[in-house]
Structure 1
């Protein structure tokens, strides 16, 4: 079990500050939190800062973590996949990060299970260079899951997927977080997906945290007007699910 909190976290590239003053209270095991905001707001930078890939002020606080390189796993937008490898080889390589190179049967069974869960068994022995953008995203997700992280950072993991696959992957991730106790932070542009799947939401705008809290309290017409510059309404369908209707730009 693990918890995550951020205290006045920021990040810089050289002398240029690109992110500042991000603070969130303790995120608990099994939670799914959205990171939202306009393009180039600083969402990817926040993920890199939490993952320890870049430095900056503030504290990223982990507690009750098992330790080691499997604690946090970052799934970037651009995977930079090695086209020489097959899908199966790339997932196996990801599973061996930070451990010895001897392969055990249980590791192969785990890879098979992940391929089956994501319904990409048919891609197992295809080269990464042959895949579509959506297929590469699913393989990248498999590479992250095989490492069994306690905290999973997902930067727009559904951007190249069709609607069916988007719902399928988000259903899977939501269920996995609950059942495994994993903390998942996910950057999404589809705010209706955020309303459906994420308990908490953090809004990043102009390199700073604009607001955070429960998704129901964060995603409001006022926030959409201020941050996204659209005039919108939050409606509730016959099944009780809240959704956004955009009337136009603000």
Structure 2
């Protein structure tokens, strides 16, 4: 089973340390981990550090992955697919990244199944540049999922979707995490979604990890008051 654990992780932009001392228990395959916190708290920076796009102190420990560090896929909040490619072509290009260009039946089946699961099979042959913001976000998610990651980092993957589609996509991610044994770290602003769909929660504030554990234990009225400065009850 794949696991990922962060040990005193930090991240630098130039000489400035923007993320520091993030240490977690080992998250195991099948876990959905909600990464929550205010705007500009450091959630995107954390994902960029884990994926190797930023440098800094500390270690990312990945065990049990068949592809080592290549097992990690990062879906940023702002994606940039080639606008002249179709949804299907962009998914195929992502699927074959680092694998050579011979296309087999298994590649085509994976793409077909992924597009169907995301409810976008009907736009498979439309150019990405013609799509709405929500459709582009689903196409980007398809590009990530067809790579069959073992550890998936998702930065606000449902921000452009309406409520029903958000629920569908997050439910699908929960099913896939368990079926494939993936660890999914997902940045969310909606704490109701975090409570409903995640097993664990990490709270990032001011570039530091301030809480980590089972979601019902972490997402509480105290969290709303102390981190979000909102006086409300979590039922």
Normalised to the residue count of structure 2, the TM-score between the two structures is 0.98
Q: In the TM superposition, what is the alpha-carbon distance from 1:197 to its structure 2 partner?
A: 0.8
SS at match of 1:231: coil
Q: Counterpart in 2 of 1:21?
A: 21
Distance in 2, matches of 1:104 and 1:157, equals 29
Q: Counterpart in 2 of 1:231?
A: 231
Normalised to the residue count of structure 1, the TM-score between the two structures is 0.92
Structure 1: 4+ residue segments shifted above 4 A? none
Distance in 1, matches of 2:69 and 2:35, equals 23
Relative to its length, the structure with more strand (as a share) is 1
Q: Counterpart in 2 of 1:238?
A: none
Query: Residue 149 of structure 2 contacts residue 182 of structure 2 at CA under 8 Å; is this kept in 1?
Result: yes
Query: Residue 84 of structure 2 contacts residue 129 of structure 2 at CA under 8 Å; is this kept in 1?
Result: yes
Q: In the TM superposition, what is the alpha-carbon distance from 1:149 to its structure 2 partner?
A: 0.5
Distance in 1, matches of 2:124 and 2:30, equals 29
Q: In the TM superposition, what is the alpha-carbon distance from 1:138 to its structure 2 partner?
A: 0.6
Query: Residue 62 of structure 2 contacts residue 68 of structure 2 at CA under 8 Å; is this kept in 1?
Result: no
The size of the alignment, in residue pairs, is 235
- Between 1 and 2, higher relative CO (CA 8 Å, sep ≥ 6) is seen in 2
Query: Residue 87 of structure 1 contacts residue 139 of structure 1 at CA under 8 Å; is this kept in 2?
Result: yes
Query: Residue 62 of structure 2 contacts residue 69 of structure 2 at CA under 8 Å; is this kept in 1?
Result: no
Q: Counterpart in 1 of 2:191?
A: 191
Q: In the TM superposition, what is the alpha-carbon distance from 1:69 to its structure 2 partner?
A: 6.3
Q: Counterpart in 1 of 2:59?
A: 59
Task: Tell me how large the CA RMSD over aligned residues is.
Answer: 0.9
Q: Counterpart in 2 of 1:101?
A: 101
Aligned pairs (5 A) from 1:108-119: 108-119=108-119
Deviates more, 1:62-71 or 1:118-127: 62-71
Superimposed CA distance per residue, residues 169-194 of structure 1 (whole angstroms, 9 cap, x where no aligned partner): 01100011111100000000000001
SS at match of 2:144: helix
Distance in 1, matches of 2:74 and 2:99, equals 18
Q: Counterpart in 2 of 1:214?
A: 214
Query: Residue 30 of structure 2 contacts residue 179 of structure 2 at CA under 8 Å; is this kept in 1?
Result: yes
Q: Counterpart in 2 of 1:89?
A: 89
Distance in 2, matches of 1:118 and 1:177, equals 15
Q: In the TM superposition, what is the alpha-carbon distance from 1:223 to its structure 2 partner?
A: 1.3
Superimposed CA distance per residue, residues 173-219 of structure 1 (whole angstroms, 9 cap, x where no aligned partner): 00111111000000000000011111100000011111111111111
Distance in 1, matches of 2:207 and 2:191, equals 20
Change (3 A) 1:104 1:69: farther
Q: In the TM superposition, what is the alpha-carbon distance from 1:70 to its structure 2 partner?
A: 4.4
